Structure 1
């Protein structure tokens, strides 16, 4: 039986996070806080629900992607919704979020656990997890942890290509300036 055929999945699929009368929805807040499009935030919420299904049914500890973890962290701030409605009525069990203790052993444990989560996702949902939300374990644990969250009001953010273009333009301007000064 596929995950999407289970009662748990139907409860998860029907569940809307947060108060029904909120003017600023959970999805809108998730998008704003992460600088995501509304579509990407909706997809991350869908994947968060799949992660929750796996947490309950995979038969092993699971580890979320960073995007899924962002949805989970935000959901935890809706504490009444999370603990009074989501866990008892939808999951029908508590789902605690525990941080890593750090170090090589923990990194290896979470790396392996995440790889197993991806394999279980594919086995239970019958498809490969979307790579833009669920990157491979190497990316999740070796590349992405180097990322930092920035407030764009405080910094100028350029892609690597844009930065190279700016540096090339500055270099050409300096060459032109030196050439002009020499003549």
Structure 2
């Protein structure tokens, strides 16, 4: 059972980054991803569960995108990650390897992620879908998304964007027609 495993106890007790930091790891994670504080805290909890699976599942594991964002940020706390987390909490290195790309790699990660979800369910019960989407969404749909700096761009839902574009084009067309008549 997970709660009795010393690894899980160390993971639950572990806090990322300096204990006296005013701007916590979860706050930074929230800011960098546009999440609210509660959601970021939940992602940090899921990151702990992912790390537990990485050490105990008996197979390679693949994180959800949200958990991967937590892992990426944690890696930037390099001393904390390697000297405290890996050495003292996990008691083993946990390397992050990016995909080499291509269909074969995507298919491999699809299978690996599906296996990760199955292992998650065996150990922790059903995974939260808002953090751990199904394998198809994780590996075939979501990778088509782009991260956007929202202070530089307006984000408009597609259905509204099309309507705005049509109205704008009609307005430009009308100005051209009226300009030619005048």
What TM-score does the superposition give when structure 1 sets the normalisation length? 0.89
* 2:127 matched residue in structure 1: 129
- 2:118 maps to 1:119: yes
Matches of 1:122 and 1:5, distance apart in 2 = 18
Matches of 2:76 and 2:169, distance apart in 1 = 48
* 2:44 matched residue in structure 1: 45
Q: Hey, which bits of structure 1, 4+ residues long, moved more than 3 A?
A: 164-174
* 2:60 matched residue in structure 1: 61
SS in 1 for 2:66: helix
Taking the TM superposition and a 5 Å limit, the aligned residue runs for 1:2-81 are 2-81=1-80
- Higher mean displacement: 69-78 or 99-108: 99-108
1:162, distance to aligned residue in structure 2 (A):
3.5
> Unpaired segments of 5 or more residues in structure 1?
178-183
1:102, distance to aligned residue in structure 2 (A):
1.0
1:163, distance to aligned residue in structure 2 (A):
2.5
Matches of 1:37 and 1:161, distance apart in 2 = 25
Taking the TM superposition and a 5 Å limit, the aligned residue runs for 1:121-160 are 121-125=120-124, 127-160=125-158
Matches of 2:148 and 2:135, distance apart in 1 = 24
SS in 2 for 1:155: coil
Q: Render the CA deviation track for 1:59-91: whole Å, top value 9, x for unaligned.
A: 000000000000000000000000000011111
1:34, distance to aligned residue in structure 2 (A):
0.5
Matches of 2:135 and 2:84, distance apart in 1 = 32
| Aligned residue pair count | 179
Matches of 1:112 and 1:14, distance apart in 2 = 31
> Unpaired segments of 5 or more residues in structure 2?
176-182
* 2:83 matched residue in structure 1: 84
What TM-score does the superposition give when structure 2 sets the normalisation length? 0.89
1:15, distance to aligned residue in structure 2 (A):
0.7
SS in 2 for 1:98: coil
SS in 2 for 1:94: coil
SS in 1 for 2:80: helix
